[in-house]
Amino acid sequence: MKAKLLFIFILIISNANAQLQAPPVPETWETDLWFVDDWLHVATVNYSFNSDCLPDYVLQQTLDFSTSIFGNSTQLSISYNANSQMTTSTNELWNTNLQIWENERRTDFSYLGNNLSLVEIYIWENSNWEISETIENAYNGSDLLIESLYKEWSIPLNSLVNRDKSNYTYTAFSQIDTIINSNWDAVNSIWIDSSKITYVYNSNNVVVSKISQNWDGNQWVNNNIEVYSYDSNGFLIELLQSNWNLNTGVYDETQRKLYTNNSDGNQIIVVDQTNVLGTWTNTTRDRRTYPNCQTLNAEDVVFSSLEVYPNPVQNQLIIEIEGNTTGVLTICDVNGRKIFTQNILNRINKVDVSKLKTGMYLLQITKDNKTSTKKIIKQ
């Protein structure tokens, strides 16, 4: 597992599940390879968390096949601002010869309000941090991401130059409809479409498939499709990928992921399989555990007069509270990041959650210096 892959993982940025809430960061992430007829443990990632239950340190160790001993591979340090937004991540690689950590890359994050506006990626060269690439994000009036512009450093020009970009469109329910990716033609100074992703939803506005196509210069040509399956709780249990067969004109099943979830809907086992001559064959397996800070605090107060419904919820969440109605309600994702806050002024309070991604959230009600926390499921 390369350091860059670890960096991408910690950001929890995945177009494959763009309409699902980002999964919670685990405390341990162990990776196994299918070897002959059994699983072989080859890598472990351990996460440490700050007081807000946000990951601030990550250590990856990998198996040395020659000695059968796990050794240091990559470590990542993360810092946040007062709004619990990631501001800097620094990735280091372990030098096995010198037995020391060495800088590899640093990423800085800038925000406009709650929106991630700029990502700056630096690489360590000649004992200095040198800019390597940037991502500039643009949003519409509803704070929905509409464009990500990727630039890379040009040594001959001594400046950042366009590389590629992604443009987003949305459904009436503020869910991603399409993503069109384009490459920059420096000779003609124009953008050329390269690929497109289209999401399909069921009647509950839950994503059920992702269709990928490539631009051949004249039309969009099918590339692959991913189909998502859920259990009765709305938890993802399978991702099935099929590639387009140009000869037969149909999709051929090629890969799949099988998910085992705990009672909170967190993925604890993920098995990757490849279709070999019609037989699903194991390739890799991830095993994950989660920190206690991501579960409800046993000391949280349970207000007998508090009602939250409907749960699961699709569009509007109603919170009824008796007695002293002055307080604050906060919605956090499973990683503890605050998404929404409003004052409680009435006995019946309504919250629009239609724009939240599918998944589990924590609703915190604070009044009279006491806090009650409830899990809510967004469908």
* pLDDT digits 0-9 by tens, 110-120: 999 889 999 99
- Lowest model confidence (mean pLDDT) among 57-71, 152-166, 223-237, 285-299: 285-299
Q: Dihedrals φ, ψ of 44, to 5°?
A: -135, 135
Q: Is 185 a residue whose pLDDT tops 60? A: yes
Same domain, 316 and 238: no
CATH number of domain containing 370: 2.60.40.3080
* pLDDT digits 0-9 by tens, 121-130: 999 999 999 9
According to the model, what pLDDT value does residue 7 have? 40
Say which residue the tokens 């800085």 belong to.
108
Higher pLDDT, 74 or 21: 74
Of 294, 318, 350, the last residue of a domain is 294
**CA neighbours within 13 Å on the CB side: how many for 54?**
20
Same domain, 271 and 360: no
Number of domains present in the structure of the chain: 2
CA distance 122 to 278: 44
pLDDT category of residue 53 using cuts at 50, 70 and 90: confident
- In terms of Cβ atoms closer than 10 Å to its own Cβ (0-12, 13-18, 19+), residue 82 is exposed
According to the model, what pLDDT value does residue 233 have? 84
Same domain, 131 and 156: yes
pLDDT category of residue 325 using cuts at 50, 70 and 90: low
Average pLDDT over residues 58-70: 96
Mean pLDDT of the chain: 88
Same domain, 199 and 268: yes
According to the model, what pLDDT value does residue 203 have? 85
Closest CA to 337 of 47, 14, 9, 50: 50
According to the model, what pLDDT value does residue 16 have? 35
Range of the domain at 211: 3-294
What lies within 8 Å, CB to CB, of 178 at 6+ separation is 168, 169, 196, 197, 198, 199
According to the model, what pLDDT value does residue 292 have? 79
Same domain, 90 and 177: yes
Q: Is 1 a residue whose pLDDT tops 80? A: no
According to the model, what pLDDT value does residue 5 have? 40
Average pLDDT over residues 104-108: 98
Of 294, 321, 352, the last residue of a domain is 294
Tell me, yes or no, whether 301 lies in a domain.
no
* pLDDT digits 0-9 by tens, 329-361: 888 876 667 788 888 878 888 888 888 887 778
For residues 175 and 199, is the Cβ–Cβ distance under 8 A? yes
Tell me, yes or no, whether 299 lies in a domain.
no
- Sheet harboring 359-367: ordered strands across? 338-344, 327-333, 359-367, 370-378
pTM (predicted TM-score):
0.81
Tell me, yes or no, whether 194 lies in a domain.
yes
* pLDDT digits 0-9 by tens, 248-299: 999 999 999 999 999 888 899 999 999 999 999 999 999 999 987 765 443 4
According to the model, what pLDDT value does residue 344 have? 82
Tell me, yes or no, whether 27 lies in a domain.
yes
According to the model, what pLDDT value does residue 357 have? 80
Higher pLDDT, 151 or 372: 151
Q: Is 11 helix (H, G, I), strand (E, B) or coil?
A: helix
Q: Is 184 a residue whose pLDDT tops 80? A: yes
According to the model, what pLDDT value does residue 22 have? 61
Tell me, yes or no, whether 300 lies in a domain.
no
Same domain, 231 and 89: yes
According to the model, what pLDDT value does residue 303 have? 53
Same domain, 217 and 343: no
Average pLDDT over residues 86-112: 97
For residues 289 and 26, is the Cβ–Cβ distance under 8 A? yes
